[in-house]
Structure 1
Amino acid sequence: MKQFRILSMLMIVLISSLSFVSCGDDDDETSGDFSASIAGVYTGKLKVGTNVTADAYVVTVTKVSSSVVKVTADFYTDNGSENYNVTKEGNQYILSSESSSGINITVTGKAMTISFLNNAGSMTTFTGTRD
């Protein structure tokens, strides 16, 4: 009976230790060089509403620091570019800027989506991929 008790305690310890083990690769990155992961030239279509206005529209993303990128595109009126902070949620990178809060930019894999309301009040959307 004493041996059975020792074996059952040993099994409980073994099972409980296995249940508390997790893989480090399962954890999402909370920091890192996100800018390098999304930097490049994205080509795709620019739509205003449902009308395609440019079939070969180009958006360039340049690394400024590990968490900041410069996005260059013709739809920026001032100097043709804007700096964005980069965060990662799951497998998606989200670009945000205090000065361009109305522009939503996401990158998933090699695909980029940009959406914003233009001056006429129409939804403008860019969808493109990185080479």
Structure 2
Amino acid sequence: MKSLFYKTLLDDFSRCMNMAPLVFDDKGACNIIIDKTFAVTLRCDGIHQRLLLIGLLEPSKDIPLQLLLTGALNPLVNAGPGIGWDEHSELYYAYQSIPQEALIYSIFRPCNALEALIYLGATAGF
């Protein structure tokens, strides 16, 4: 069973946004499309007590590989989103790891907190 905290956060978010109820699947993932444009996956990681925002990244052919690899270090050196490449699908992904402590204040307004985080992820390029 997924963390009640994350389930409550997702329930409140879907209710506030007048959406059909959102649920985590058996792998702890919930897929959302923002503004009919941005596909974002929320993944509940109960073991590490964090929420992951994951989205496809469409890097321009003009961006050097070194610049993309610099972004891969973001989670180690700052709070910026990380990037990665899946060799099987040959797709690039951007992700943001949000510790549960960062979401605690949202107990009072979880919809606003999750909405802001998803919007931040969607407008950050994934």
Q: TM-score with structure 1 length normalisation? A: 0.32
More helix by share: 2
Q: Relative CO higher for 1 or 2, CA cutoff 8 Å, sep ≥ 6?
A: 2
Q: TM-score, normalised by structure 2?
A: 0.33
Which structure would you say has the larger Rg?
1
Structure with the bigger percentage of strand: 1
